[in-house]
Chains A and B, each alone.
Chain A
Amino acid sequence: METPYAIEMLHITKRFPGIIANDDITLQLKRGEIHALLGENGAGKSTLMSVLFGLYQAEEGVIKKDGKEVTIHDPNDANDLGIGMVHQHFKLVECFTVLDNIILGVEPTKHGFLQKDEARKKVLALSEKYGLQVDPDAIVEDITVGMQQRTEILKMLYRDNEILIFDEPTAVLTPQEIDELMKIMKNLAAEGKSILFISHKLAEIMAVADRCTVLRKGKYVGTVETAKSSPEELSAMMVGRNVNFHVDKKPAHVGDVVLDIQHMTVASKTHKKDAVHDVSMKVRRGEIVCIAGIDGNGQSEFVYGLTGLEPLKSGTITLNGKDISKASIRQRSTSGMSHIPEDRHKYGLVLDYSLEDNLVLQRYFEQKFTDRIGFLRRDNIRKYADRLIDEYDVRSGQGPVTAARAMSGGNQQKAIIAREVDKDPELLVAVQPTRGLDVGAIEFVHRKLVEQRDAGKAVLLISLELDEVMDVPDRILVMYEGEIVGELDPKTTTQEELGLYMAGAKRDEVKA
């Protein structure tokens, strides 16, 4: 009797310089099952799928198809083995029709002329068989996200793929579209297709998957049958109980409201659903409030709306009693908002500028740094930079004249924090301030945030790191699909409970 497994990935290990992305991971996909792959950001899901798709070569371990060992050098090999993938961001040609997109790359031709009739028949038959409603002649940019996704699925089916990988397929869908996708996936499995479903949404996994493999920090945690498991168990497996260094802080002395957001909605750039929907919250003097959530649940857009990088669709933002909903970025900054941005290379620094020029990026226009005619006061800038470099221990090769590009990530971040904190803000917005930093730098950043809070400032932290979410703030707000779904007290809550909110398995009515 042959093996029940369509694809087996046995003891896969993939190393990158300085990190083991996949450490001895085993994943066995049965024929005709829906198998979920669950894990936090950075758990190694994408790396594992890239190995299966031939984008990376594993250092150790074997891949078997129908019990036979295979080697996959590139995506073409994967295609030949019947492995297809629906990417999180669709790979469709926007100005082509649905049919053209489906046959792209495998166009049926006769004497060099396209034979679309045959293809159309096959597509229509497939769409009927699996309940995938599409209009083959519609232009992709005109159709809904749901139909675009069905087009992607038909692309795989048209190529007679047997193993279908769905990479976080529900991220961009409305609830109704999600329900429909779940039905489609069950149909496909019933027809004998094997499905790998990558997700971190527990409810969906519980609803549709037969089994679930959990990864954490590059390691294999286990495989469970969802019918015999619970969201709580999966959440605990995903998050783990890891020891973490603790942030020392005194009890908070909470004062007046500094930031008051009411019914804020921000449109999304990539899909029609609003990225942030009707969010209301307050941040007071002397407290650190953390917005927790899994990446891509509207946190970035929330920050864009708050700091003025994107306009609000509706709602109001009040900073210290002043309505800043329509204020420019500069006005918000001079009204007392500091912003440590999510991406320090994209937003935080002008990399080709010197360290000193970057340190005055938010205040170069002040009288202290520019004289009446418009000339920069270079000597004042130098003095100011020297002071910040000294106070915040920003290390670089040539001091204030070092190009920001030539500095280490940790010191770049220190420079940004020095700049934003020294502005003496009323509200400090820190977005993933420890991303990509080593332990020492992380500690420094956390200490600075707590110092600001103790100095009576309002601090709003946006973080994806569970350790940080549990340790640093005085209050946690959980964001899920652009909405605040829970308010938690880090002293009393557990990572498991937090995980349930983050994965959308639990929600409360939160009022600000």
Chain B
Amino acid sequence: MKKNLLKNAAVQSLIASLLCIVLGLLLGFIVLLFINPSGAGEAILAVVKNFWNYSRANLQAKNFGNTLVKTAPLLMCSLSVLFAYKVGLFNIGAAGQYVVGSCACLYAALAWHWSWLPCLLLSIVVGGVYGAIVGLLKAYCNVNEVISGIMLNWIGLYTTNMLLATVKEPTSPYTLHLKTDATQAMLPTLGLGKLFSDNGNVTIAIPLAVLIAIAIMVLLDKTRLGYELKATGNNKNAAKYAGMAEKRNIILTLIIGGALAAMGGAFLYLTDFEQWSVTQSSVPGMGFNGIAAAFLGGLNPIGTIFASYFIQHITSGGAFVDLSKYSSQISDLISSLIIYLCGFVLFIKYAINMGIAKSEEKAKQKAAAADEKGGAK
């Protein structure tokens, strides 16, 4: 009975994900031990506790809200990666699509004073177009989507820096605050902020992201389009044989993937939780973390919701490490170690299956040996 449960794919995914998390925490702990053994236990606890590091309930709620605010964009990026992955494409360009999505909504909000809905829609369109470039190159010129995706990540970053430099604060590299300069573009909170002790950054972005995750699952599992896309991802030749429009499917997938990641950008920057720094010289990690979240979530849209939250929880928790004992980069180091280990989900699944096969083989041999003995008698 126990073995049958282990063979279940969903159970396997869950076990593998939990194992990855434990391994990641362990590795993080070991690294901390090396740097400064005296504070290691405390530091790793601080990372795991995140907002529980605060003792007061209202601060806990507020910071829980903050973690959720950043979970929404991460979830969108990981949905983008997951969706493309189901069609056999590796959308590493999600990072760049997230960047151009952020750019589009911020520019429309600050330069043109659009309200939030058109800003969000513009992000979706721009992200879709950005994804389409990768799709067109893949479908018609056979350019690997990873290569074109990475290059477009950088093109997106510097174009964004250039454009947003026109709407930045005069004395800092950061874009203007929506709260002061473009309140019309702030995503509505619908009273959600009240649940998190008046955290104004908690907006409809969070429930929307969850709804979109569910929508993606429905699209993949219940519709004709999902049937076609997954068939293309599983067996390109069979999809072609069955008369599916393979090229159209590739392009459409990357358009949807691009739109999802770009929406993630809008979900963060239209809350005014962060401002864009026009001097940043590396592509934000949100899209890349989306890859880890997609795998940690067992490549299941619902699993991805929890995985995205966990990764954001750890990342936010990093801020609570005692900086008198560790340098300020330690929080990023620990969370990235854990995220890195999250990529090992498929490997652990494989190991579980190998283990089952081996023990079954042994059981068979034993049974055969027992039979022989019985026969000899």
Are the chains A and B members of one assembly? yes
Which A positions have Cβ atoms within 8 angstroms of B?
307-309, 328-333, 339, 341, 346-353, 357, 361-362, 364-365, 370, 374-376, 378
Compute how far the CA of A476 lies from the CA of B290 in the bound complex, rounded to whole angstroms.
Answer: 58
Closest 6 CB pairs of A and B: A330-B243, A329-B243, A347-B241, A370-B224, A350-B235, A361-B242
Q: Check if B238 sits within 8 Å of A376, measured CB to CB.
A: no
Docked-complex contact B224 and A349, CB < 8 angstroms: no
Interface residues on B, range: 10 to 19
Chain B residue nearest in CB terms to A307: B241
> B237 in the interface, Cβ–Cβ < 8 Å?
yes
Q: How far is the CA of A365 from the CA of B243 in the complex (A)?
A: 11
- New contact pairs (10) apart from A332-B243, A364-B228, CB-CB < 8 Å: A329-B242, A329-B243, A331-B243, A347-B240, A349-B238, A353-B231, A364-B224, A374-B223, A375-B223, A376-B227
A374 near B224 with CB under 8 A, answer yes
Query: A330-B243, A339-B241, A347-B238 known; A375 and B222 CB under 8 Å?
Result: yes
Q: Which residues of chain B are near A349, meaning CB under 8 Å?
A: 235, 238
In the assembled complex, the Cα of A72 lies from the Cα of B375 at a distance in Å of: 41
Q: Report how far A159 CA is from B225 CA in the complex, Å.
A: 57
Q: Which residue of A lies closest to B235 (CB)?
A: A350
A365: B residues at CB distance < 8 A: 224
Using A357-B227, A370-B224, A375-B222 as known contacts, say yes or no to A362 and B238 having CB atoms under 8 A apart: no
CB of B234 closer than 8 Å to a CB of A: yes
- Collect the chain A residues with CB atoms within 8 Å of residue B230's CB: 353
Output the least CB separation between A305 and chain B (Å). 14
B249 to chain A, nearest CB (A): 13
- The answer on a CB contact under 8 Å between A309 and B224 is no
Q: Say yes or no: B224 contacts A361, CB within 8 Å.
A: no
Q: Tell me the complex Cα distance, A403–B231, Å.
A: 13
**Pairwise interchain contact B231-A361, C-beta atoms closer than 8 A:** yes
CA distance A374 to B222 in the complex (A): 9
Q: Tell me which residues from 189 to 242 in chain B have a Cβ below 8 Å from any Cβ of chain A.
A: 222-225, 227-228, 230-231, 234-235, 237-242
Residue numbers in A under 8 Å from B227 (CB-CB):
357, 364, 376
How many Cβ-Cβ contacts under 8 Å join chain A to chain B? Answer: 62
Contact of B238 among A331, A333, A346, A375 (CB under 8 A): A346
Contact B243 A347 (CB under 8 A): no
Partner of B223, one of A308, A339, A357, A376: A376
How far is A498 from B230 in the complex, measured between Cα atoms in Å? 45
Contact partner of A329 among B222, B231, B235, B240, CB < 8 A?
B240
Whole-angstrom CA separation of A469 from B237 in the bound complex: 28
Q: Name the A residues within 8 Å of B241 (CB-CB).
A: 307, 309, 329, 339, 341, 347-348
Query: Cβ of B224: which chain A residues have Cβ within 8 Å of it?
Result: 364-365, 370, 374-376
- Decide if B243 touches A362 in the complex (CB within 8 Å): yes
- A-B CB contact pairs (8 Å), 17 listed: A332-B243, A346-B237, A346-B238, A347-B237, A347-B240, A348-B241, A349-B235, A350-B238, A351-B235, A352-B235, A361-B231, A364-B227, A364-B228, A374-B224, A375-B223, A375-B224, A376-B227
Q: Which of B50-65 contact A (CB under 8 A)?
A: none
Q: Find out whether the CB atom of B240 lies under 8 angstroms from the CB atom of A309.
A: yes
- Taking CB atoms, residues of chain A closer than 8 Å to B242 are 329, 333, 361-362
Determine how close the nearest CB of chain B comes to the CB of A358; give it in whole angstroms. Answer: 9
Q: Which residue of A lies closest to B225 (CB)?
A: A374
Min distance, Cβ B89 to any Cβ of chain A, angstroms:
16
Chain A residues with CB under 8 Å of B225's CB are 374
**A352 and B231 alpha carbons, distance in the complex (Å):** 9
A400 to B230, CA, bound (A): 18
Q: Chain B's nearest CB lies how many Å from the CB of A418?
A: 15
Q: A330-B243, A357-B227 are in contact. Are A351 and B237 (CB under 8 A)?
A: no
Cβ-defined partner of B234 (8 Å) among A330, A339, A350, A378: A350
- The distance from the CB of B363 to the nearest CB of chain A, in whole angstroms, is 20
Is B243 in contact with A348, judged by CB distance below 8 angstroms? no
Interface string of B239-271 (1 = CB under 8 A from A): 111111000000000000000000000000000
In whole angstroms, how far apart are the Cα atoms of A364 and B223 in the complex? 10
Among B222, B237, B240, B242: residue with most chain A CB under 10 A: B242
B243 touches A376 (CB 8 A): no
- Inside 8 A of B235's CB, which chain A residues have their CB? 346, 349-352
* Residue of B with least CB distance to A381: B227
Residues of B within 8 A of A374 (CB): 223-225
B286-330 CB mask vs A (1 if < 8 Å, else 0) is: 000000000000000000000000000000000000000000000
Residues of A close to B237: CB separation below 8 A? 346-347
The docked-state distance in angstroms from the alpha carbon of A364 to that of B227 is 9
Contact partner, A333, options B223, B228, B234, B243, Cβ 8 Å: B243
Give every chain A residue within 8 A of B238 (Cβ-Cβ).
346-350, 361
**B-chain residues with CB within 8 Å of residue A309 when the two chains form the complex:** 240-241
By a CB distance below 8 angstroms, the chain B residues around A341 are 241
Q: Name A358's closest neighbour in chain B (CB-CB).
A: B238
Q: How far is the CB of B208 from chain A (nearest CB, A)?
A: 21
Roughly how many angstroms separate A332 CA and B243 CA in the complex, as a whole number?
Answer: 9
Instruction: Report Cα–Cα, A341/B241, bound state, in Å.
Output: 9
Rounded to whole angstroms, the CA-CA distance of A37 and B224 in the bound complex is 53
CB closest chain-B residue, reference A419: B242
Task: Give the residues in chain B near A353, CB-CB below 8 Å.
Answer: 230-231, 234
Q: Write out the residue numbers on chain B whose beta carbons fall within 8 Å of the beta carbon of A362.
A: 242-243
For residue B349, give the distance in angstroms from its CB to the closest CB of chain A: 15
Name the CB-closest residue of A to B244: A330
Residues in A neighbouring B228, C-beta threshold 8 A: 364
Identify the closest chain A residue to B221 (Cβ): A376
B229 to chain A, nearest CB (A): 12
A339: min CB distance to chain B, Å: 7
Cβ contact of A350, chosen from B223, B231, B243, cutoff 8 A:
B231
How far is it, in angstroms, between the C-alpha of A353 and the C-alpha of B221 when the chains are bound?
12
Q: Give the docked Cα–Cα distance between A339 and B242 (Å).
A: 10
CB distance from A178 to the nearest CB of B (A): 33
A374–B226 Cα gap in the complex (Å)? 10
A352 to B244 CA separation, bound complex (whole angstroms): 17
